[in-house]
Structure 1
Amino acid sequence: MSKSYAEVIGDPIAQSKSPVIHGFWLNLVGIDAEYHRCHVKPEGLADYLVARRGDALWRGCNVTMPHKQAIMPLLDRLDPEAARIGAVNTVVREADGTLTGYNTDAPGFLEPVRPKLGEEPYRFAYVIGTGGAARAIIDALFHAEFMIWSISRNPAKAKAEFGHYLGDDPEFLIDLAELKPGPLRPADPEVFSLIVNATPLGMTGNPPLDLPWGGFLGNATVYDIVTSPADTALLQQARAQGLATIDGLAMLIGQAAVAFEKFFGVAAPRGQDAELRKLMTR
């Protein structure tokens, strides 16, 4: 390649929307660089980094499943937030060829949440899932002063993964199978309540997330990080219940903006997010 470039790696990788996002921004700011997909299997991850480390045109890569944790010991340095979360989704090649790992999922997740935080004295979050995405999301919510409940099919795993973020009371570990159907509880104006799907359930090719609504507040906001489709069955059901929603494209664009600046040295141009969303949903 003759141009500077960055890319996204994963296994699989064909579904990634990152090239659309970064390509759109590169065109807007007029940078003569490229952004690609690169299919990297787990057994090829170390060799991939060896090859890229020696390429002065390579600015770095975004990292998706299943490499977010496996890549960590292969890097020269971890940003403190990535080390604390225990997952890397962005690698930057420094001028001296060393590789630094970052986690932009956490700030990307919080970006669409912050404008919704009002004067409510309490912040509650129910996070569904125990994977790498949930790890970054729970860390972000903890540092934004949310009280957090973990909902999963394996509360023991959730305890091991997230116990230091949760309260000591077992009530903060909820078995997904034990949630009950029923009406929403009355809205509580003193609580900002967030329900987050941090699993692949609802993604194209996966079964939907069948979430019983009984017990959740009537003024909750439902945030589904799935990006394909952007308007998941969960979000449609939430709107039918009268709940506010945030889709996964919001997080995807937010985390990409942080990575874009690290790769190319300029802020992502955010004034045309609506046009970008249309491109991503074609």
Structure 2
Amino acid sequence: MVKTCSLQDVVTNQLDARATSSQWLAGIVGENPSKYAKSPSIWNPVLQAIGLDAFYSPFDVASANLAAFVEAVRQDQRMKGFSVTMPYKTAIIPLLDELDGRAKSIGAVNVVVRRKDGRLVGANTDGSGGLASLTTPLSAEGEPFIRQLQGSRVLLIGSGGAGKALAWYLAEAIGAGTLYVANRSRSSGDELCRSIRSVNPTAVYVESNAIGITARKVDLVVNATTVGQSGVRLLTEGRVICLEPYSPLVNSNPAQVRAAAGQDPRSVYEACYRDSLLDIQNNNLRSASLMTQVPASVRFLDIVYSPLETTLLRQARLSGHQTLNGKGMNICQAADALFHWVFQSHFEEAGRYETTTYRSIVERMCSVW
């Protein structure tokens, strides 16, 4: 057995001591999930509640080390699996041994299961989680955000990993409705529309500069990009950008700021904000103006959950629209990944692979959020 320290060798964050002392290990891999990911704080209480000696850890992995990380997971017999977040949902696919059917169609992975023989199988729960957050209340007392998607007109912004997953599930759910896909890269947006026309022939690509016009004629707008998300995005040569102040309804061009290793995050934020101020003001003003032209009946879902109210959702709420953040989607996709994938074998062996167990996991994740 390769010791857990082999994982420490390929991640940039310091692993918690419980990552080495627990019988089983799982986690989330991305560029820097230790800085923003909610998953550890909702997975670990569930693992503790079900009495499983397991720990869920964030794994910050540089792109150059992604293959080495996957190999370390393959060799570590304590690893049950891991979640995948930006920007590796598609990049990780060639490194896996197998994809389940839906992940293969989507072309993106957000959870990987390690089989007993070390084989790694990729799956995707983003789409099912997103759909569940729209149509199923998280608590027994709650009301669904949307009661019926059949026949709806939906504008989906973004065709990355989460966008692809949502596109497939929404395309099926809306039936005779229309799905509009907006993306800055036309080739990526067109490719996604072509792929999902097998389940919904109405899928239409929309240029990013036509998002505002399209939003006026749909029932639901979904932001599946990282625009509005807290934190900074790492670029090349030590440069970063911050997308948190922006709305995805309008194109943006945030300043690239050089960030030194160990630099105070507050000074990085300040530099990003100062150097991007004119662009932020332009983006926000144009987005707010477009929002006032969108009928109040149009609802807005932003899959971002940090912050809980993004610029998009704040503008939508203040202009009279109903809004939903990414909390529900994050919980539902996490519950699906934990129950149906990473620890499925444990629940089956314990005779607890049943609906009541799944529902208790969702409720527990909601309570500790």
Q: TM-score, normalised by structure 2?
A: 0.67
2:90 and 2:216 map into 1 onto residues whose CA distance is: 37
Q: Which moved more, 1:24-33 or 1:205-214?
A: 205-214
Structure 1 residue aligned with 2:50, among 26, 29, 32? 29
Say whether 1:263 aligns with 2:342: yes
Query: RMSD across aligned C-alpha pairs, in angstroms?
Result: 2.6
Decide which structure has the larger Cα Rg and report it.
2
Match of 1:221 in 2: 299
For the Cα contact (< 8 Å) 1:238–1:244, is it kept in 2? yes
Aligned twin of 1:195: 221
Q: Find the residue that maps to 1:230 and give its secondary structure.
A: coil
Matches within 5 A, 1:1-282: 1-2=20-21, 3-14=23-34, 15-115=36-136, 116=144, 117-118=146-147, 122-144=151-173, 145=175, 146-165=177-196, 172-180=204-212, 193-204=219-230, 205-206=242-243, 207-209=245-247, 210=249, 211=287, 212-213=290-291, 216-261=294-339, 262-265=341-344, 266=347, 267=358, 269-277=361-369
CA distance, structure 1, for counterparts of residue 205 and residue 292 of structure 2: 17
Distance 2:113 2:55 in 1: 15
Unpaired segments ≥5 residues, structure 1:
186-190, 278-282
Runs of 4+ in 1 over 6 A off after TM superposition: none
Q: Residue 157 of structure 2 contacts residue 163 of structure 2 at CA under 8 Å; is this kept in 1?
A: yes
How far apart are residue 273 of structure 1 and its match? 4.5
Aligned to 1:188: none
In structure 2, how many angstroms separate the alpha carbons of the residues matched to 1:42 and 1:225?
Answer: 24
CA distance in 2: counterparts of 1:126 and 1:217, whole angstroms = 14
Q: Matches of 1:214 and 1:155 in 2, distance apart?
A: 27
Quick one: distance in 1 between partners of 2:212 and 2:363? 42
| Structure 2: gaps spanning 5 or more residues | 1-19, 137-143, 231-241, 250-286, 348-357
Cα pair 2:29 2:61 within 8 Å, conserved: yes
Distance 1:140 1:119, change over 3 A: closer
Deviation (angstroms), 1:180: 4.9
Say whether the 8 Å CA contact 1:184–1:214 is kept in structure 2.
Answer: no
Q: Could you say what secondary structure the match of 1:270 adopts?
A: helix
Q: Distance in 2 between matches of 1:71 and 1:174?
A: 28
Give the number of the structure whose residues are more often strand, by fraction: 1
Q: Identity across aligned pairs (percent)?
A: 33
User: 1:81-109, CA deviations, whole angstroms, 9 ceiling, x for partnerless residues?
Assistant: 00000001100011222111001111111
Cα distance, 1:242–1:214 mapped onto 2, change above 3 Å? closer
Tell me how many residue pairs correspond in the alignment. Answer: 270
TM-score of the superposed pair, with normalisation by structure 1: 0.86
Q: CA deviation at 1:152?
A: 2.8
Contact 2:292/2:319, CA 8 A, preserved across alignment: no
C-alpha distance in 2, partners of 1:109/1:78? 20
2:181/2:206 contact within 8 Å kept: yes
In 1, Cα distance between the equivalents of 2:80 and 2:229? Answer: 30
Name which of structure 1's ranges 155-164 and 132-141 shifts more when overlaid on structure 2.
Answer: 155-164
- The answer to whether the 8 Å contact 1:148/1:165 transfers is no
Report which stretch shifted further, 217-226 or 79-88: 217-226
Aligned residue in 2 for 1:280 = none
Q: Which moved more, 1:119-128 or 1:52-61?
A: 119-128
Asked if the contact 1:29/1:269 (under 8 Å) is kept, the reply is: no
Q: C-alpha distance in 1, partners of 2:102/2:55?
A: 27
Aligned letter for 2:246? P
CA deviations over 1:35-70 (Å, ceiling 9, x no partner): 001112222122212221121110011111221112
Question: Could you report, residue by residue, the CA deviation over 1:235-262 in whole angstroms, capped at 9, with x for unpaired residues?
Answer: 1222223222111111111110011112
More helix by share: 2
CA distance in 2, matches of 1:24, 1:224: 26
Residue aligned with 1:127, SS? strand
| 2:12 matched residue in structure 1 | none
CA distance in 2 between counterparts of 1:184 and 1:106 reads 24
Change in Cα spacing, 1:180 to 1:57, as seen in structure 2 (3 Å) is closer
Distance in structure 2 (CA, Å) of the matches to 1:39 and 1:243 = 37
**Counterparts of 1:51 and 1:34 in 2: how far apart (Å)?**
17
